Structure 1
Amino acid sequence: MNRDALQSALSQVGSISARAALAELEAGANFQVFLNQTASARQLWDTWSWRHQVMLGTGVTPRPGLAEAIARLEAAGAARVHMATVTGSQRRFTIFLSEDLTQCVAGW
């Protein structure tokens, strides 16, 4: 997957995190897409919703966009997704892409 394709996938999502990751990419941020393995959005929802609850229960402030990303993973159900990261000047973003790599399913 090239930079343009990732930018296109992120540009289709209106979330604050997707827009921030897109801005970082446009500014030249590094990115990596993990193409060798997919997971179901439901499995990822299980993991991240639990982590989110632990953060809230222990007083840790979750990163911006995490709650929205968890809801989007839940809505995606059994769909297979790829993980990607965008490492910008201010933070690292976690992105989940559709199996065909054309859409951003969730990100924070």
Structure 2
Amino acid sequence: MNRDALQSALTQDDSVSARAALAELEAGADFQVFLNQTASARQLWATWSWRHQVMLDTGVTPRPGLAEVIAGLEAAGAARVYMATVTGSQRRFTIFLSEDLTHCVACW
């Protein structure tokens, strides 16, 4: 997957995190797409929703956008997703891509 394809996938997600990741990509940020494996969105939802709940229970404020990621993964159900990262100047983004790599399921 090249930069243009990842940028196109991110434009399909209107979240604040996806727009920020897209801006970083357009500014030349490094990125990596992990094409060697997929994961079930449902499994990722279970993991991230549990982590979110632990943060809330222990008084840790989650980084903005985590609730949107959880909702996006839940909506994807049993679909397989790929993961990608964008390392920007201020932060690193985790991106969950549809199995056909055409759209962003969630970005954090």
Query: Could you tell me the TM-score, scaled by structure 1's length?
Result: 0.98
Measured against aligned partners, the alpha-carbon deviations of 1:38-88 in whole angstroms (never above 9, x if no partner) come to 011000000000000001111111111110110010010000000000000
Q: In 1, distance between residues paired with 2:85 and 2:57?
A: 26
Aligned ranges 1:15-94 → 2 under 5 Å: 15-94=15-94
Q: Paired residue for 1:14?
A: 14
Measure how far apart 1:12 and its partner are. 1.2
Which runs of 5 or more residues in structure 2 are unaligned? none
Q: Paired residue for 1:103?
A: 103
Which runs of 5 or more residues in structure 1 are unaligned? none
**Letter in structure 2 aligned against 1:65:** G
- Structure 1 runs (4+) deviating above 2 angstroms are none
Say how many residue pairs are matched: 108
Q: Percent identity?
A: 89
CA RMSD in angstroms, aligned pairs only: 0.5
Q: In 1, distance between residues paired with 2:84 and 2:42?
A: 17
Q: In 2, distance between residues paired with 1:50 and 1:73?
A: 13
